Amino acid sequence: MRNYKEHLLLTKSTIKQALVRLDKLAGDAILFVVDEDETLIGSLTDGDVRRGLLKGVTIEDKVNSIIQENPRFIKKGEENIQKIIEYREGNFKILPVLNKKNKVVNVINFRQLRSYLPIDAVIMAGGKGTRLRPLTETTPKPLLKVGDKPIMEHNLDRLALYGIDDFWVSVKYLGEQIEEYFGNGNSKNTKIDYVWEDEPLGTVGAVSKIQNFEHDYILITNSDILTNLDYESFFLDFIDQDADLSVVTIPYQVNIPYAVLETSNGHVISFKEKPTYTYYSNGGIYLMKRSVLKHLPHNTFFNATDLMEKLIEEDSKVISYPLAGYWLDVGKHEDFEKAQQDIKKIKF
């Protein structure tokens, strides 16, 4: 993935310098002109250069004379997802992302990304993976390779594909290896911070230690899940239903080989011949409003199921998002072997 700073050009640069940069960008040829603080000043394309040359500027002139001064942009934490979808489906494929001070903090390319979701993602990666021993005796489960890269990297790359670029990783067992492998996330145009668990804190307990989320929506996922979940669809459903928490659920069908009777006081009132029942299990991926986090006890063992129970008791809106795509919890040896085969044929 291209480093977003390749699209940035200092305002004092010459048109010749801009042409060299545009040539290197090839099919992604657009520059965002910034000052020394990387505050957005304007944009520049090959077309702007051609029009400038026709008006008599030279390649030794400064770019300021030919830039577009009011380029479109996205604000960090932009909650209007429909606006982002309109940009993507329109002709605006490459856009700068600005923080509150109008500094460029990223450049998104919809030729590479599927969306730009206003979400912080927390990846829970602190478990020991005891069911996968001896594979996990010296390697943390999130770093076990499925295909050509670790399980957790499949997760992170999938989330980043939907424009999520603020990550928190909860670590404990062999966490130094995870931190060394992923670093600060710069190589993937993301930001990764690490949350260390002194003691095991369950599936969401460590989230209580994070105080500086960037967005109002938080996604929490287990690190050992392999899935092709459409995160934009998941987010849109969450917003449409004005939910407090949504959990990805995995449909399971149970086929009964006999007629099932419904009775009341010993009387048969109906029956179904060889029915099929669909049940939904917890998929280990949760999306919630940031305000929900107030229900987490600080630095205390707490599971996602505890949080859901608490929200349901308080009549908060907890919804299910049935997954129509692929999902696998890589928890046991047979799951790990299945993942090695599935990664060759499942479209991610």
Chain-centroid distance, C-alpha 93: 19
Say what the pLDDT of residue 243 is. 96
Cβ atoms of 274 and 284 closer than 8 Å = no
Query: Which residue blocks in 113-168 are alpha helix, DSSP H?
Result: 151-161
Percentage of the chain surpassing pLDDT 90?
Answer: 53
pLDDT attached to residue 311 = 95
Tell me the average pLDDT across 218-228: 94
For the chain, strand residue ranges (E) read 8-10, 30-34, 40-45, 74-75, 94-98, 104-109, 120-125, 145-146, 149-150, 166-171, 191-196, 217-222, 225-227, 245-255, 260-264, 267-272, 276-289, 318-322, 327-329
Q: Tell me how far CA of residue 100 lies from CA of 3, 40, 104, 194, 304, in angstroms.
A: 21, 12, 10, 24, 32
Pairing of strands 260-264, 217-222: unpaired
Pairing between β-strand 40-45 and β-strand 30-34 as defined by DSSP bridges: antiparallel
DSSP 265-317: TTEEEEEESS-EEEEEEEEEEEEEEGGGGGGSPTTS---HHHHHHHHHHTT--
CA 83 centroid distance within chain = 19
Residue 87's φ and ψ, nearest 5 degrees, are -60, -50
User: 10 Å Cβ neighbour count for 116?
Assistant: 24
Contact 262, 307 (CB under 8 A): no
Residue-wise pLDDT tens digits, 283-341: 999 999 999 999 999 888 999 999 999 999 999 999 999 998 999 999 889 999 999 99
d(CA 332, CA 301): 24
Cβ partners under 8 Å of residue 60, min gap 6: 14, 15, 16
- Tens-place pLDDT, residues 1-30: 678 889 999 988 999 999 999 999 988 889
Cβ neighbours of 184 (radius 10 Å): 13
**Per-residue DSSP letter, 14:** B
How do beta strands 94-98 and 104-109 pair?
antiparallel
270 pLDDT higher than 70: yes
Secondary-structure class of domain 120-342 per CATH: alpha beta
Query: What is the average pLDDT value for the chain, to the nearest integer?
Result: 90
Which residue type, as a one-letter code, is found at position 95? L
pLDDT tens digit string along 61-84? Answer: 888 889 888 888 988 877 788 888
Residues in CB range of 298: below 8 A, 6 or more apart: 208, 209
What is the DSSP annotation of 238-265?
Answer: HHHTT-SEEEEEEEEEEE-SS-EEEEET
Greater pLDDT, 346 or 282: 282
Bigger pLDDT: 57 or 151? 151
pLDDT value for 295: 92
Q: Could you check whether 4-109 and 120-342 share the same CATH topology? A: no
Both tokens of 72, joined, read 């479109």
> Taking the domains of the chain in order of start, what are their residue ranges?
4-109, 120-342
Rg value, the chain, Cα: 25
> In whole angstroms, what is the distance from residue 86 CA to residue 73 CA?
13
Q: Within 13 A of 56's CA, how many CA atoms are on the CB side?
A: 0
Digit-coded pLDDT (tens) for 184-212: 998 888 999 999 988 888 889 999 999 88
CATH superfamily placement of domain 4-109: CBS-domain (3.10.580.10)
User: In the numeric block, which tokens belong to residue 32?
Assistant: 């965002």
Quick one: pLDDT at residue 1? Answer: 66
Residue 92 burial by Cβ neighbours in a 10 Å radius (0-12, 13-18, 19+) = middle
